[in-house]
Chain A
Amino acid sequence: MTNMLEIKHLNKSYNGIPALSDINLSIPAGEIHGLVGANGSGKTTLMNILFGNPIIEASGGYEGEIYFCGKRAAFKNCGHAIQQGIGMIHQEFALIPDMTVAENIKLGRENTMPFTKRLFGQSFSFIDRKKDDAGAQRTLNKLGIDLNVGLKVIDLTSNLKQFVEIAREIHRTDLKLLILDEPTAVLSGSDGLKLIGILKEMSDRDIGILFISHRLEEIQHVCDRVSVLRDGRLVAQYEKGSISINNLAKDMIGHLVEKAAAKKREIGNKTIITFKRFAVEMPGEAIRDLDLDVYEGEILGITSLSGHGKLALGYGMMGMYPVNGEVSYRDEKIARMEARGNIMNGMYLLPDDRQELGIMADQSVEHNIVFTGNQVKNMFIRESCGSFLGFIDRHKSRSHVNKMIEDFDIKCSSVKQKVKELSGGNQQKVCVARALTVDPQLLFVAEPTRGIDIAAKEKILNMLIEINRTRNTTIVIMSSELDELKRVCDRIAVMVEGKIFKILSSDSSDVEFGLALSGEEGAEYEPL
């Protein structure tokens, strides 16, 4: 029997950086195939290709062959993929907020009055609301959900929204392959089981299922086969019966090279900042309930799978997103989360999205480095012309900038060179220089080495270590590069679904990290 989905030698790069390398995967009809992988493993790219997301085409397409139901497939847009019988349940819910549950379930497949169809064609035939509502209700009943189909989606809880998303796909009669992207992430215990029951029933009807999840226990329970992606490659595949959570965890992370870690040292337990039930509403990376004490002088790492909250901490601190909960800095509660106040008090954030948030691309190196210091702390002001006007004292700023360039070895043709012309590594150095200009006591750094070449990565990490050792600056690094965190940090906090799951020491094993990232507890699970 031909496989429903056959992927051969799939390759995809973004701007020359490979996201998927030589992927070979096949899913026969009726198989529930699991897909696991950590940050940057290529899961999202693979899904985008399968579902015809236009971003693939826009970034240069892909190489390799995909066969769907025996025929060569190349989906240029989502409509095309949907027509062929592919359905997708999106992590972020593809639901139209202002429409009702029934409308969402039936979107594109509404029941219409037959005589108008004959007169005006499919697109312009009159919709039979009653039939639509009834059909939607039936599907929801099958899911065991009690919901008024006339409610607008925007008014529903996340759990219910997920079910409506699922109902939309289950309702289809032409579904051949269903892709689920982290579907149980928002479903609480028993709801998750309900979903798994439905999936099994679908697989009995020969619908192929691609099930992507970070919850290793579910994967083990539900899937017929599991593939593990790491760094764009397929590194392992397991059959039902030999799926072990520990193995999956280890495969996801890979064998970490044991480089020399920063010497273990004693950190005093004076806390510099404490978070109590802290929440940040950052779309896609929300922090739900954070309790954390950060000790003065330490380098603390925060890591998680993507979307589980590690990046949101710094942004929440700087007032970029709405926050909740209590934060005490040096034993004083912070009343308002906003950048200016926090910077004046000694906090600072180096954002992960350098291009968008970290630099003024069109301004000079000099301008960038002195900017925050000048704006917030009135540094480098020329006194003579009236300090309220705030003309920059060229002399002062120039000498400071030159010192920074020398200290950090920032490669630029002159202080006037535009930052966008520098390499990624040097841009990051400019950001660090700007941070140091305001002399922070608590520095939040997000993805410090993203988009930077190998050599420069080391330099940036060493810069951070040095700042910590010489100025006693407390540093909180939010990163997905476990390898780097282990080398640099004193402790590493692992977040799962918006909360701190575990705090590990930097010499914990791969398996421990893999399990923690997946939110799995112990090592006692035997393969089923």
Chain B
Amino acid sequence: MSHYKLKLPQIIISLFLLLLVVIASALRMDLTALLNQSIVKLVMNGVLVLSLIPMLNVGAGMNFGLPVGIIGGLLGMCLAVNFRMTGFYGFCMALLFSLVFCMLLGWIYGLILNRVKGREEIAGIFIGFSFIPLMNYFWTLVPFKNREMLYPIGGQGLRPRISLENYFNHVLDDLGVITVSGIEIPCGLLAFYALVCVFLYLFFLTKAGRAAIAVGENESFARLSGINIAQTRLIAIIISTVIAGFGICVYAQSYGFIQLYDEPLSMAFPAIAAILIGGSTGKKTFIFEAVLGAYLLQSIYLLTVPIANAILVPELTEILRTMITYGIILYALLIRERRGASQ
């Protein structure tokens, strides 16, 4: 089943990861702890990476407008926290609220994207970027009552970081953890991740899903076969947005905080770099590629921290991370166009 075209970079990345692991063990770092963290990080960021798949498959490109879906998820969580919904129940309600918000936002986002065919990616970046300051108004002016969410004294609006300590912090992370010789396997977390994967798999077996793949693979063919292109794209974009909303919920419950205001600005790029590392070419993408890429990227991110601290300058972590992220995306842009041109 080898459809992964980006072969060489995947090998390079994997070797790079291996190198980092070797350095880490040479520095006598706790590899088990790192492994445990890598599993958690996989799911924490992995759902966001999965959210890119519907849009890639339908031919709407890489979803640089991920902030739209993320904001939907943030809205959902804030609502849940405001109504003091705690624990697993609170998390589920957050997901439910996110679902509603993301469907609405995704619908509008999809309508706009349908008008900018061919430039979805650049338009997406700026739609996302301009939506964020708009939402900043909302975060500042929204009449939420929960004191824990608001600025302490004198400030107006929600805090930039809302602690989930009393709400649904780690609800998935801690659900059903099995420890095998030091390695902690968070079954609840992995089960949720698997659920999203299965959902995507099933979706692409439905009539709408298969139409989406056809539109992404060959739009003219799809049009000739009587498929409503605009509607198909809309459905895919809405699903992408909803999963992105779920993604940020999973991320937040793991991280322990809801991050508002300008945080979503840079969240699209790591997710996109991840899926590219996994082998996506910017067109039809397999679920496996999303999973693989998320794991590789997150593990590299994870390993740069202690190594950079030990050897060199602490800021190096961030610099290396961003270099890898943008380097991957640039490389993919070049390769994709080359391949597209030669076809």
Binding site for B on A (CB under 8 A): 318-320, 338-344, 349, 351, 356-363, 367, 371-372, 374-376, 378, 381, 389-392
Contacts and interface: CB of A to CB of B under 8 A. Distances in A.
Interface residues of B, number: 19
Interface of B: 205-208, 210-211, 213-214, 217-218, 220-221, 223-228, 284
Contacts of A391: 205-207
Contacts, number: 71
A436 to B, nearest CB: 14
B286 to A, nearest CB: 12
B141 to A, nearest CB: 41
Contact of A389 (B206, B217, B284): B206
A357 B224 contact: yes
A357 B221 contact: yes
Nearest to A377: B226
A372 B205 contact: no
B341 to A, nearest CB: 11
B206 A372 contact: no
Given A390-B206, A391-B205, A359 B221 contact: yes
Contacts of A351: 224
A360 B215 CA distance: 10
A361 B216 CA distance: 12
A371 B222 CA distance: 10
B218 A360 contact: yes
B207 A376 contact: no
Contacts of A381: 207
Contacts of A392: 205, 210
Contact of B214 (A349, A360, A378): A360
Contact of B208 (A343, A356, A363, A390): A390
A358 B222 CA distance: 9
Nearest to A318: B224
A230 B194 CA distance: 62
Contacts of B228: 340
Given A372-B225, A375-B226, A376-B225, 16 more contacts: A319-B223, A320-B224, A339-B225, A339-B226, A344-B226, A351-B224, A356-B220, A360-B214, A360-B218, A361-B218, A372-B226, A375-B207, A375-B211, A381-B207, A390-B207, A390-B208
A363 B218 CA distance: 11
A340 B225 CA distance: 7
Contacts of A340: 226-228
B207 A358 contact: no
Contacts of A371: 210, 214, 225
Contacts of B210: 367, 371, 374-375, 390, 392
Nearest to B343: A355
Contact of B227 (A342, A375, A378, A389): A375
B217 A358 contact: no
A80 B145 CA distance: 74
Contact of B221 (A358, A374, A390): A358
Contacts of A342: 226
8 contacts: A319-B223, A341-B226, A356-B220, A371-B214, A372-B225, A389-B206, A391-B207, A392-B205
Contacts of A378: 207
A357 B207 contact: no
Given A375-B207, A375-B211, A390-B207, A362 B217 contact: yes
A418 to B, nearest CB: 10
